[in-house]
């Protein structure tokens, strides 16, 4: 009798959960070697070659950050270095990509630096994961120079596209500041870490 109740309970539960909850596909983040628009000293080039893109997946959102992950709400637990790739099994479904970007514009405290230079690009791009298939997120990091307060910074712009079954999406800049970007102080969503 207990066995019958258990089986009935499992079947009732299964009827309330979408089949995609058990269907796994794969996301591969293919991080290309960086390119640069400016001449780099050997020392700077070497430092940049060890860099990459920090990101994480929470629910149906992939978040990329240029801001230290301690100030970001979602879990950021991946670092894909330039010239490498990383694969992650994910439930089938639709995913959105958001980015916490940074353009250094001066400031002598963390709060001032974030207030002046950090911004949010929410749901800037989407991709689909299908059962038994691999979706590839290709990222081309392009180094552009920007002058900061006392220092020169070399920030990569992440140009991204996705592909599934041979269909390639339009390229999107994940971390460019545009008229749709929301400044650090004006953003009150869950991409920002709540103290």
141-156 tens-digit pLDDT: 988 755 443 345 667 8
Do the domain assignments include residue 190?
no
Phi, psi of 73 (to 5 degrees): -70, -55
CA 6 distance to own-chain centroid:
41
| Distance, CA of 62 to CA of 76 (rounded, Å) | 9
Do the domain assignments include residue 160?
yes
Q: Which of 67, 157, 194, 171 is nearest to 120 (CA)?
A: 67
More confident residue, 70 or 151: 70
Do the domain assignments include residue 56?
yes
Which residues form the domain of 118? 19-183
Q: How confident is the model at residue 195 (pLDDT cuts 50, 70, 90)?
A: low
Q: Which of 1-15, 84-98, 130-144 has the lowest mean pLDDT?
A: 1-15
| Distance, CA of 127 to CA of 58 (rounded, Å) | 14
For residues 17-36, average pLDDT: 78
Do the domain assignments include residue 88?
yes
Average pLDDT, the chain: 85
CA 84 distance to own-chain centroid:
15
Q: Which of 178, 52, 69, 184 is nearest to 124 (CA)?
A: 178
Do the domain assignments include residue 87?
yes
When divided into structural domains, the chain yields a total of 1
Q: How confident is the model at residue 18 (pLDDT cuts 50, 70, 90)?
A: very low
Do the domain assignments include residue 188?
no
Q: Give, for 116, the enclosing helix (H) or strand (E).
A: helix 110-117
Do the domain assignments include residue 192?
no
Do the domain assignments include residue 3?
no
DSSP structure string for 123-161: EEEEEEE-TT-EEEEEEEEEEEEEE-SSSEEEEEEEEEE
Q: What is the pLDDT of residue 15?
A: 43
More confident residue, 48 or 112: 112
Percent of the chain with pLDDT over 70: 82
Do residues 162 and 138 lie in contact, with contact meaning Cβ atoms separated by under 8 Å?
yes
Asked if pLDDT for residue 106 goes beyond 60, the answer is yes
């Amino acid at each position: 009798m207990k066995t019958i109740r258990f089986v009935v309970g499992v079947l009732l539960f299964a009827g309330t959960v979408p089949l995609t909850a058990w269907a796994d596909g794969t996301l591969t983040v293919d991080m290309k070697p960086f390119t640069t628009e400016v001449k780099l000293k050997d020392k700077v080039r070497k430092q940049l070659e060890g860099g990459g893109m920090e990101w994480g997946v929470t629910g149906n959102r992939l978040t990329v950050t240029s801001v230290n992950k301690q100030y970001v709400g979602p879990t950021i637990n991946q670092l894909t270095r330039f010239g490498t790739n990383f694969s992650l099994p994910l439930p089938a479904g639709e995913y959105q990509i958001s980015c916490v970007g940074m353009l250094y514009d001066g400031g002598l405290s963390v709060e001032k630096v974030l207030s002046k230079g950090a911004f949010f690009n929410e749901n800037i791009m989407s991709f689909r994961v299908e059962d038994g298939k691999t979706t590839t997120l290709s990222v081309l990091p392009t180094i552009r120079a920007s002058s900061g307060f006392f220092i020169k910074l070399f920030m990569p712009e992440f140009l991204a596209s996705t592909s599934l079954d041979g269909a390639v999406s339009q390229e999107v800049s994940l971390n460019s500041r545009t008229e749709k970007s929301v400044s650090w102080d004006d953003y009150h969503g869950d991409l920002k870490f709540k103290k």
